[in-house]
Amino acid sequence: MHTRKHILVIGGGVAGMESAIHLCDMGYEVTLIEKQDQLGGHVLKWDFLFPDHRPAYEITNELCPAVEEKATIKLQTEVKNIVRQNGHFEVALSDGEKLTADALLVATGFDLFDAHKKEEYGYGIYDNVITAAELEERFQNKIPIRTAAGKKPARVGFVHCVGSRDEKVGNEYCSKVCCVTAVKQAMRVRESLPGCEVFCFYMDLRMFGRYFEDLYREAQEKWGVQFIRGRLSEAAEDIDQRIIVKLEDTLAGRPLRMAVDLLVLLTGFVPSEGTRRMATMLNLPLGNDRFIKPSDEHLRRNLTPVPGVFVTGASAGPRSISESISDARAAALEIAAWFNNSSQHAI
Protein backbone atom coordinates (compact mmCIF):
# COMPACT_ATOMS: atom_id res chain seq x y z
CA MET A 1 0.00 0.00 0.00
CA HIS A 2 3.00 2.31 0.38
CA THR A 3 2.86 2.99 -3.36
CA ARG A 4 -0.53 4.64 -3.06
CA LYS A 5 -0.47 8.27 -4.04
CA HIS A 6 -1.07 10.63 -1.19
CA ILE A 7 -3.17 13.76 -1.68
CA LEU A 8 -3.40 16.57 0.82
CA VAL A 9 -6.75 18.34 0.72
CA ILE A 10 -6.54 21.77 2.30
CA GLY A 11 -9.91 22.91 3.65
CA GLY A 12 -12.78 20.89 5.08
CA GLY A 13 -15.79 22.66 3.63
CA VAL A 14 -18.19 20.98 1.21
CA ALA A 15 -15.72 21.13 -1.68
CA GLY A 16 -12.79 19.67 0.27
CA MET A 17 -14.92 16.94 1.81
CA GLU A 18 -16.58 15.93 -1.45
CA SER A 19 -13.22 15.74 -3.26
CA ALA A 20 -11.65 13.78 -0.41
CA ILE A 21 -14.48 11.23 -0.43
CA HIS A 22 -14.14 10.63 -4.16
CA LEU A 23 -10.35 10.51 -4.12
CA CYS A 24 -10.53 7.87 -1.36
CA ASP A 25 -13.08 5.92 -3.40
CA MET A 26 -10.63 5.94 -6.31
CA GLY A 27 -8.02 4.31 -4.10
CA TYR A 28 -5.88 7.30 -3.16
CA GLU A 29 -4.65 8.03 0.31
CA VAL A 30 -6.10 11.32 1.45
CA THR A 31 -5.33 13.64 4.32
CA LEU A 32 -7.78 16.47 4.83
CA ILE A 33 -6.83 19.40 7.03
CA GLU A 34 -9.27 21.96 8.40
CA LYS A 35 -8.37 25.01 10.44
CA GLN A 36 -11.63 24.99 12.46
CA ASP A 37 -12.42 22.40 15.14
CA GLN A 38 -15.17 20.91 13.01
CA LEU A 39 -15.66 19.84 9.39
CA GLY A 40 -18.29 21.57 7.29
CA GLY A 41 -17.11 25.12 6.61
CA HIS A 42 -19.68 27.81 5.91
CA VAL A 43 -22.55 25.35 5.49
CA LEU A 44 -22.52 24.78 9.24
CA LYS A 45 -23.78 28.33 9.68
CA TRP A 46 -26.67 28.10 7.21
CA ASP A 47 -30.12 27.08 8.38
CA PHE A 48 -31.71 26.07 5.10
CA LEU A 49 -30.70 26.09 1.46
CA PHE A 50 -32.05 27.59 -1.73
CA PRO A 51 -33.93 26.80 -3.86
CA ASP A 52 -35.79 23.99 -2.09
CA HIS A 53 -35.50 25.16 1.55
CA ARG A 54 -33.93 21.86 2.63
CA PRO A 55 -32.14 21.98 5.98
CA ALA A 56 -28.43 22.70 5.56
CA TYR A 57 -27.45 20.04 8.09
CA GLU A 58 -28.52 17.38 5.58
CA ILE A 59 -25.43 18.26 3.55
CA THR A 60 -22.96 18.03 6.44
CA ASN A 61 -24.75 14.99 7.90
CA GLU A 62 -23.99 13.15 4.69
CA LEU A 63 -20.51 14.46 3.90
CA CYS A 64 -18.86 14.64 7.34
CA PRO A 65 -19.27 10.98 8.42
CA ALA A 66 -18.36 9.76 4.92
CA VAL A 67 -15.11 11.68 4.80
CA GLU A 68 -14.27 10.85 8.43
CA GLU A 69 -14.58 7.16 7.63
CA LYS A 70 -12.39 7.28 4.53
CA ALA A 71 -9.75 9.98 4.90
CA THR A 72 -7.31 11.04 7.59
CA ILE A 73 -8.77 14.18 9.13
CA LYS A 74 -6.74 16.77 10.96
CA LEU A 75 -8.77 19.53 12.59
CA GLN A 76 -7.47 22.87 13.88
CA THR A 77 -4.58 22.42 11.51
CA GLU A 78 -3.15 24.77 8.94
CA VAL A 79 -0.32 24.60 6.44
CA LYS A 80 2.83 26.29 7.70
CA ASN A 81 5.19 25.66 4.83
CA ILE A 82 5.41 23.74 1.57
CA VAL A 83 8.59 22.67 -0.18
CA ARG A 84 8.57 20.91 -3.53
CA GLN A 85 11.12 18.08 -3.71
CA ASN A 86 11.57 15.41 -6.39
CA GLY A 87 7.99 15.73 -7.55
CA HIS A 88 6.62 15.58 -4.01
CA PHE A 89 5.44 18.21 -1.61
CA GLU A 90 7.01 18.30 1.83
CA VAL A 91 4.35 19.96 3.92
CA ALA A 92 4.86 21.35 7.42
CA LEU A 93 1.65 21.64 9.40
CA SER A 94 0.80 24.00 12.25
CA ASP A 95 0.80 21.14 14.78
CA GLY A 96 4.45 20.42 13.97
CA GLU A 97 3.74 17.34 11.86
CA LYS A 98 5.46 16.99 8.50
CA LEU A 99 3.95 15.00 5.69
CA THR A 100 4.73 14.15 2.11
CA ALA A 101 2.06 14.56 -0.53
CA ASP A 102 2.05 13.73 -4.24
CA ALA A 103 -0.62 16.32 -4.98
CA LEU A 104 -2.27 19.22 -3.20
CA LEU A 105 -5.89 20.23 -3.51
CA VAL A 106 -6.62 23.78 -2.44
CA ALA A 107 -10.17 23.95 -1.10
CA THR A 108 -9.75 26.91 1.19
CA GLY A 109 -12.88 28.69 0.02
CA PHE A 110 -14.16 32.15 0.73
CA ASP A 111 -14.80 34.59 3.54
CA LEU A 112 -17.80 36.85 3.65
CA PHE A 113 -17.11 40.47 2.81
CA ASP A 114 -16.59 42.55 5.95
CA ALA A 115 -19.68 44.77 6.03
CA HIS A 116 -17.88 47.36 8.18
CA LYS A 117 -16.09 48.44 5.02
CA LYS A 118 -19.34 49.76 3.55
CA GLU A 119 -19.52 52.37 6.26
CA GLU A 120 -22.38 54.19 4.54
CA TYR A 121 -24.66 51.24 5.35
CA GLY A 122 -23.97 51.59 9.05
CA TYR A 123 -22.98 48.05 9.94
CA GLY A 124 -21.30 48.08 13.33
CA ILE A 125 -22.63 51.59 13.90
CA TYR A 126 -26.39 51.00 14.04
CA ASP A 127 -27.71 48.03 15.99
CA ASN A 128 -30.50 47.35 13.51
CA VAL A 129 -28.16 46.78 10.58
CA ILE A 130 -27.18 43.10 10.39
CA THR A 131 -25.69 40.76 7.81
CA ALA A 132 -27.49 37.93 6.03
CA ALA A 133 -25.19 35.48 7.82
CA GLU A 134 -26.37 36.87 11.17
CA LEU A 135 -29.98 36.55 10.10
CA GLU A 136 -29.31 32.96 9.03
CA GLU A 137 -27.82 32.29 12.46
CA ARG A 138 -31.06 33.54 14.03
CA PHE A 139 -33.06 31.21 11.79
CA GLN A 140 -30.78 28.33 12.73
CA ASN A 141 -31.00 28.98 16.47
CA LYS A 142 -34.75 29.58 16.29
CA ILE A 143 -34.28 33.11 17.61
CA PRO A 144 -37.32 35.19 16.66
CA ILE A 145 -36.61 38.08 14.30
CA ARG A 146 -36.63 41.19 16.46
CA THR A 147 -35.08 44.63 16.40
CA ALA A 148 -32.20 45.46 18.72
CA ALA A 149 -34.76 46.81 21.19
CA GLY A 150 -36.66 43.52 21.08
CA LYS A 151 -39.62 44.73 19.03
CA LYS A 152 -41.27 42.87 16.19
CA PRO A 153 -40.11 44.64 13.02
CA ALA A 154 -42.86 46.10 10.86
CA ARG A 155 -40.48 46.49 7.93
CA VAL A 156 -37.35 44.60 6.97
CA GLY A 157 -35.07 45.65 4.10
CA PHE A 158 -32.57 43.45 2.26
CA VAL A 159 -29.64 45.12 0.53
CA HIS A 160 -28.19 43.15 -2.38
CA CYS A 161 -24.60 43.42 -3.63
CA VAL A 162 -22.89 44.54 -0.38
CA GLY A 163 -19.22 44.28 -1.23
CA SER A 164 -20.00 42.96 -4.70
CA ARG A 165 -20.04 44.80 -8.03
CA ASP A 166 -18.43 47.67 -6.20
CA GLU A 167 -15.12 49.16 -7.26
CA LYS A 168 -15.16 51.37 -4.18
CA VAL A 169 -14.32 48.32 -2.09
CA GLY A 170 -12.20 46.74 -4.81
CA ASN A 171 -14.67 43.98 -5.65
CA GLU A 172 -15.88 44.38 -9.22
CA TYR A 173 -17.33 40.91 -9.45
CA CYS A 174 -20.77 39.47 -8.75
CA SER A 175 -20.86 37.07 -5.78
CA LYS A 176 -23.54 35.06 -7.51
CA VAL A 177 -25.49 33.54 -4.63
CA CYS A 178 -26.53 36.66 -2.66
CA CYS A 179 -29.54 37.50 -4.87
CA VAL A 180 -31.17 34.15 -4.36
CA THR A 181 -30.16 34.13 -0.68
CA ALA A 182 -31.92 37.47 -0.18
CA VAL A 183 -35.05 36.12 -1.84
CA LYS A 184 -34.88 32.95 0.25
CA GLN A 185 -34.47 34.90 3.49
CA ALA A 186 -37.08 37.51 2.54
CA MET A 187 -39.63 34.72 2.12
CA ARG A 188 -38.69 33.25 5.49
CA VAL A 189 -39.10 36.63 7.21
CA ARG A 190 -42.53 37.06 5.67
CA GLU A 191 -43.44 33.56 6.73
CA SER A 192 -42.35 34.05 10.33
CA LEU A 193 -43.68 37.61 10.63
CA PRO A 194 -46.88 37.76 8.56
CA GLY A 195 -47.56 41.45 9.28
CA CYS A 196 -44.05 42.55 8.36
CA GLU A 197 -43.38 44.28 5.04
CA VAL A 198 -40.26 43.04 3.28
CA PHE A 199 -38.29 45.00 0.67
CA CYS A 200 -35.36 43.91 -1.46
CA PHE A 201 -33.11 46.63 -2.84
CA TYR A 202 -31.34 45.26 -5.90
CA MET A 203 -29.50 46.39 -9.02
CA ASP A 204 -30.19 43.28 -11.08
CA LEU A 205 -31.78 40.09 -9.84
CA ARG A 206 -29.41 37.40 -10.99
CA MET A 207 -31.59 34.32 -10.73
CA PHE A 208 -29.13 32.19 -12.66
CA GLY A 209 -29.83 28.75 -11.23
CA ARG A 210 -32.47 26.15 -11.83
CA TYR A 211 -35.68 26.98 -9.90
CA PHE A 212 -34.31 30.36 -8.78
CA GLU A 213 -36.76 32.22 -11.00
CA ASP A 214 -39.59 30.23 -9.41
CA LEU A 215 -38.35 31.40 -6.03
CA TYR A 216 -38.39 35.03 -7.19
CA ARG A 217 -41.90 34.69 -8.47
CA GLU A 218 -43.10 32.91 -5.34
CA ALA A 219 -41.55 35.67 -3.22
CA GLN A 220 -43.65 38.24 -5.08
CA GLU A 221 -46.81 36.25 -5.65
CA LYS A 222 -47.23 34.26 -2.46
CA TRP A 223 -45.26 36.29 0.07
CA GLY A 224 -45.71 39.81 -1.28
CA VAL A 225 -42.00 40.63 -1.04
CA GLN A 226 -41.46 44.01 -2.69
CA PHE A 227 -38.53 44.57 -5.00
CA ILE A 228 -37.12 48.04 -5.48
CA ARG A 229 -34.48 48.44 -8.17
CA GLY A 230 -31.69 50.68 -7.01
CA ARG A 231 -28.54 50.51 -5.00
CA LEU A 232 -28.67 51.92 -1.50
CA SER A 233 -26.67 55.12 -1.35
CA GLU A 234 -26.81 55.40 2.43
CA ALA A 235 -28.47 54.26 5.61
CA ALA A 236 -28.90 56.43 8.69
CA GLU A 237 -30.53 55.90 12.05
CA ASP A 238 -33.45 57.99 13.28
CA ILE A 239 -34.31 58.82 16.88
CA ASP A 240 -36.36 55.59 17.20
CA GLN A 241 -33.40 53.50 16.00
CA ARG A 242 -35.15 52.84 12.71
CA ILE A 243 -32.91 52.78 9.67
CA ILE A 244 -33.64 55.41 7.04
CA VAL A 245 -32.52 54.21 3.64
CA LYS A 246 -31.94 56.37 0.60
CA LEU A 247 -31.69 55.16 -2.95
CA GLU A 248 -32.96 55.91 -6.41
CA ASP A 249 -35.93 53.87 -7.48
CA THR A 250 -34.40 53.45 -10.90
CA LEU A 251 -37.60 52.07 -12.41
CA ALA A 252 -39.45 55.19 -11.32
CA GLY A 253 -36.47 57.41 -12.09
CA ARG A 254 -36.90 59.20 -8.76
CA PRO A 255 -35.15 59.22 -5.41
CA LEU A 256 -36.78 57.09 -2.75
CA ARG A 257 -36.52 57.09 1.01
CA MET A 258 -38.09 54.98 3.68
CA ALA A 259 -37.52 53.73 7.20
CA VAL A 260 -37.04 50.04 7.97
CA ASP A 261 -36.83 48.44 11.41
CA LEU A 262 -34.15 45.99 10.40
CA LEU A 263 -31.72 46.21 7.49
CA VAL A 264 -30.07 43.01 6.28
CA LEU A 265 -26.87 43.27 4.23
CA LEU A 266 -26.16 40.56 1.67
CA THR A 267 -22.41 40.50 1.97
CA GLY A 268 -20.57 38.96 -0.96
CA PHE A 269 -17.67 36.55 -1.27
CA VAL A 270 -14.02 37.43 -0.91
CA PRO A 271 -11.13 34.96 -1.15
CA SER A 272 -10.62 33.54 2.32
CA GLU A 273 -7.53 34.32 4.31
CA GLY A 274 -6.51 30.69 3.71
CA THR A 275 -7.02 31.00 -0.04
CA ARG A 276 -4.85 34.11 -0.13
CA ARG A 277 -2.17 32.39 1.92
CA MET A 278 -2.15 29.25 -0.24
CA ALA A 279 -2.01 31.33 -3.43
CA THR A 280 1.01 33.22 -2.10
CA MET A 281 2.72 30.12 -0.72
CA LEU A 282 2.27 28.11 -3.92
CA ASN A 283 2.65 31.02 -6.31
CA LEU A 284 -0.76 30.42 -7.88
CA PRO A 285 -2.07 32.96 -10.39
CA LEU A 286 -5.14 34.97 -9.41
CA GLY A 287 -7.96 36.40 -11.47
CA ASN A 288 -8.69 40.12 -11.23
CA ASP A 289 -11.20 39.15 -8.52
CA ARG A 290 -8.24 37.79 -6.47
CA PHE A 291 -9.64 34.27 -6.43
CA ILE A 292 -7.38 31.48 -7.72
CA LYS A 293 -7.26 31.31 -11.50
CA PRO A 294 -7.31 27.80 -12.96
CA SER A 295 -5.26 26.85 -16.03
CA ASP A 296 -8.30 26.97 -18.28
CA GLU A 297 -11.66 28.44 -17.28
CA HIS A 298 -13.54 26.05 -19.55
CA LEU A 299 -11.57 22.85 -19.91
CA ARG A 300 -9.29 22.67 -16.85
CA ARG A 301 -11.17 24.36 -14.09
CA ASN A 302 -9.40 22.44 -11.33
CA LEU A 303 -5.88 22.47 -12.71
CA THR A 304 -3.38 25.18 -11.82
CA PRO A 305 -0.16 26.03 -13.69
CA VAL A 306 1.80 24.63 -10.74
CA PRO A 307 2.28 20.87 -11.35
CA GLY A 308 0.55 18.81 -8.71
CA VAL A 309 -1.51 21.67 -7.31
CA PHE A 310 -5.27 21.62 -7.90
CA VAL A 311 -8.07 23.91 -6.85
CA THR A 312 -11.74 23.40 -6.07
CA GLY A 313 -14.78 25.14 -4.64
CA ALA A 314 -15.07 28.82 -3.81
CA SER A 315 -11.31 29.38 -3.64
CA ALA A 316 -11.66 29.62 -7.43
CA GLY A 317 -14.53 32.12 -7.31
CA PRO A 318 -18.00 32.54 -5.84
CA ARG A 319 -20.00 29.32 -6.02
CA SER A 320 -23.17 27.81 -4.64
CA ILE A 321 -23.04 24.62 -2.58
CA SER A 322 -24.27 22.42 -5.41
CA GLU A 323 -21.75 23.98 -7.79
CA SER A 324 -18.98 23.40 -5.27
CA ILE A 325 -19.98 19.76 -4.92
CA SER A 326 -19.97 19.17 -8.69
CA ASP A 327 -16.69 21.01 -8.94
CA ALA A 328 -15.19 18.93 -6.14
CA ARG A 329 -16.01 15.72 -7.99
CA ALA A 330 -14.49 17.17 -11.13
CA ALA A 331 -11.35 18.03 -9.14
CA ALA A 332 -11.03 14.43 -7.94
CA LEU A 333 -11.20 13.27 -11.54
CA GLU A 334 -8.71 15.91 -12.68
CA ILE A 335 -6.22 14.72 -10.08
CA ALA A 336 -6.68 11.08 -11.12
CA ALA A 337 -6.17 12.04 -14.77
CA TRP A 338 -3.01 13.94 -13.88
CA PHE A 339 -1.56 10.92 -12.07
CA ASN A 340 -2.54 8.59 -14.90
CA ASN A 341 -1.20 10.79 -17.68
CA SER A 342 2.25 11.30 -16.28
CA SER A 343 4.14 8.01 -16.35
CA GLN A 344 6.38 8.85 -13.41
CA HIS A 345 3.23 9.45 -11.43
CA ALA A 346 1.50 6.21 -12.46
CA ILE A 347 -0.45 4.82 -9.55
Which residues lie near another protein (CB under 8 A)?
216-217, 220-221, 224, 226, 229, 249, 251-252, 254-259
| Beta bridge partners of residue 254, listed in sequence order | 249
Nearest approach, Cβ of 155 to another protein (angstroms)?
A: 9
For residues 204 and 182, the answer to whether their CB atoms sit within 8 Å is: no
For residues 233 and 246, the answer to whether their CB atoms sit within 8 Å is: yes
16 or 122: whose CB is closer to another protein? 122
Nearest approach, Cβ of 287 to another protein (angstroms)?
A: 31
**What is the distance between the terminal CA atoms of the chain, rounded to a whole angstrom?**
11
Cα–Cα distance measured from residue 332 to residue 317, given in angstroms and rounded to the nearest whole number:
18
53 or 217: whose CB is closer to another protein? 217
169 or 258: whose CB is closer to another protein? 258
Cα–Cα distance measured from residue 197 to residue 164, given in angstroms and rounded to the nearest whole number:
25
Nearest approach, Cβ of 177 to another protein (angstroms)?
A: 20
The number of C-alpha atoms within 13 Å of 186 and in the hemisphere containing its C-beta is 34
137 or 213: whose CB is closer to another protein? 213
224 or 285: whose CB is closer to another protein? 224
Nearest approach, Cβ of 208 to another protein (angstroms)?
A: 15
Q: Is the peptide bond before 255 cis (omega within 30 degrees of 0)?
A: no
Q: For the stretch 44-74, what's the b/e string if a residue is b when 16 or more beta carbons lie within 10 angstroms of its beta carbon?
A: bebbbbbbeeeebbebbeebbebbeebbbbb
For residues 234 and 120, the answer to whether their CB atoms sit within 8 Å is: yes
Nearest approach, Cβ of 236 to another protein (angstroms)?
A: 13
Cα–Cα distance measured from residue 327 to residue 80, given in angstroms and rounded to the nearest whole number:
26
92 or 259: whose CB is closer to another protein? 259
For residues 142 and 11, the answer to whether their CB atoms sit within 8 Å is: no
Nearest approach, Cβ of 253 to another protein (angstroms)?
A: 9
Around Cβ 19, how many Cβ atoms within 10 Å? 34
198 or 316: whose CB is closer to another protein? 198
State the burial class of residue 79 (Cβ atoms within 10 Å of its Cβ: 0-12, 13-18, 19+): buried
Cα–Cα distance measured from residue 148 to residue 126, given in angstroms and rounded to the nearest whole number:
9
Nearest approach, Cβ of 47 to another protein (angstroms)?
A: 26
210 or 254: whose CB is closer to another protein? 254
Nearest approach, Cβ of 128 to another protein (angstroms)?
A: 16
β pairing state of 309-311 and 103-106? parallel
Nearest approach, Cβ of 199 to another protein (angstroms)?
A: 8
58 or 240: whose CB is closer to another protein? 240
